[in-house]
Structure 1
Amino acid sequence: MHLKITILKYMKRNNMLALLAVFTMTLVQAQESLVVENVETPTVQKDTVKPPFKRYKAEGVAAVVGDYVVLDSDIDKGYLEFQQQGISIEDITRCQLLGKLMEDKLYLHQAVQDSIVVVDSEINPEVDQLLQIMTSEIGSEEKLLKFYRKNSLPELRSELFTARKNLKLSGRMQAKVVENVEITPEEIREFFFAIPEDERPVFSAEVEVAQIVAEPQITKEAKQEAIDRLNQMREDILNNGISFATKAGLYSEDGSKTRGGLIEGVKRNSQYVKEFKDQAFSLLEGEISEPFETIFGFHILKVDKIRGQEIDVRHILIYPDVPQSSIDAAKEKMEKVRTGILDSVVTFAEAARLYSEEKETRNNGGILVNPVTYDTWFDLTKMDPELSAKVYNLKPGEVSKIFTERDRTGKATYKIYTVNRRNEEHPAEYATDYERIKELALKEKKIRAIEAWQNKQIKETYVSVNEDYQECEFSSDWIKTSN
Structure 2
Amino acid sequence: MRKKIKGLSIAFLAFFGMVQAQEADEALGVNDSTSSVNKVKLDGIAAVVGDYVILESDIDKTLIDLQNQGASTEDITRCSLLGKLMEDRLYAHQAVQDSLLVSDDMVNAQSDRQIQQLTQQIGSVEKMLSYYKKTDMESFREELFEINKLRMLSEKMQGKIVEEIEITPEEVRQFFYKIPEDERPVFGAELEIAQIVKQPEAPEEEKQKVINELNKIRQDVLENDGNFRVKAILHSEDPGSRPNGGFYSITKETGFVKEFKDVAFSLNEGEVSEPFETIFGYHIIFVEKVRGQERDIRHILMIPDVPQSAIDKAVSELDTIRKHILEGKYTFAEAALNFSEEKETKFDGGLLRNPINFDSRFELTKMDPKLYNQVRDLKDGEISRPIREDDERGGPPKFKIMKISNRYDEHEADFAKDYLKIQELALREKQFKAIKEWMNEHIEDTYIHVDPESRSCDFANNWVKE
TM-score by length of 1: 0.76
User: Unaligned 5+ residue runs, structure 1?
Assistant: 30-35
Out of 397-406 and 344-353, give the one that drifted further.
Answer: 397-406
Q: Distance in 2 between matches of 1:338 and 1:111?
A: 54
Deviations 1:179-225, CA, capped at 9 Å, x for gaps: 37776477336512xx253x433221222221112222212343244
User: What CA distance in whole angstroms lies between the structure 2 residues aligned with 1:279 and 1:50?
Assistant: 52
Cα distance, 1:340 vs structure 2: 2.2
In structure 1, the partner of 2:12 is 21
- Alpha-carbon distance, 1:460 to partner: 4.2
Cα distance between partner residues in 2 of 1:298 and 1:442: 39
1:21 partner SS: coil
1:82 to 60, 66, 78: 66
The letter of the residue matching 1:89 is: T
Output one character per residue of 1:433-460: Cα deviation in whole Å (capped at 9) or x when no partner.
4554455455445545544554454344
Residues 192 and 361 of structure 2 are in contact (CA less than 8 Å); yes or no, is this contact kept in structure 1? yes
TM-score, length basis structure 2: 0.79
SS at match of 2:299: strand
1:108 and 1:187 map into 2 onto residues whose CA distance is: 34
Residue number in structure 1 paired with 2:389: 405
Residues 388 and 400, structure 2, Cα contact 8 Å, conserved in 1? yes
Equivalent position of 1:40 in the other structure: 23
Identity %: 41
Shift of 1:171: 1.6
Instruction: Please name the residue that 2:340 is paired with.
Output: 356
Q: Cα deviations across residues 408-441 of structure 1 (Å, max 9, x unaligned)?
A: 2274322222222222112234565455445545
CA positional deviation for 1:166:
1.5
Tell me the C-alpha RMSD between the 2 structures.
4.3
Gaps of 5+ in 2: none
Select the residue among 452, 458, 462 that pairs with 1:473: 458
- Aligned residue runs from structure 1 range 385-404, under 5 A: 385-392=369-376, 394-404=378-388
1:421 to 402, 406, 420: 406
Pair 1:151 & 2:137 matched: yes
Match of 1:322 in 2: 306
Match of 1:117 in 2: 100
In structure 1, C-alpha distance between the alignment counterparts of 2:413 and 2:290, rounded to whole Å: 56
Distance 2:310 2:91 in 1: 52
How far apart are residue 264 of structure 1 and its match? 6.0
Q: In 2, Cα distance between the equivalents of 1:225 and 1:341?
A: 39
Answer yes or no: is 1:462 the counterpart of 2:453.
no
Note closer, same or farther for the CA distance 1:402–1:78 as it changes in structure 2 (3 Å cut): farther
Equivalent residue runs for 1:211-222 within 5 Å: 211-222=195-206
Cα gap change, 1:56 to 1:139, in 2 (>3 Å): same
Equivalent position to 2:178, from 179, 191, 197: 191
Equivalent positions of 1:167-246 (< 5 A) are 167-175=154-162, 179=165, 184=171, 187-188=174-175, 190-192=177-179, 195=180, 197=182, 199-230=183-214, 233=217, 243-246=227-230
Give the secondary-structure state (helix, strand or coil) at the position aligned to 1:464.
strand
- C-alpha separation in 2, matches of 1:307 and 1:465: 37
Distance 1:367 1:272, change over 3 A: closer
CA distance in 2, matches of 1:312, 1:108: 21
Q: Give 3-state SS (helix, strand or coil) of 2:402's partner.
A: strand
Quick one: which amino acid aligns to residue 33 of structure 2?
Answer: V
The alpha-carbon deviation at position 162 of structure 1 amounts to 1.0
Q: Which residue identity is paired with 2:77? A: T
Is residue 384–residue 402 contact of structure 2 (8 Å, CA) maintained in 1? yes
Q: Quick one: distance in 2 between partners of 1:269 and 1:173?
A: 14
Q: Do 1:266 and 1:313's aligned partners in 2 also have CA atoms closer than 8 Å? A: no
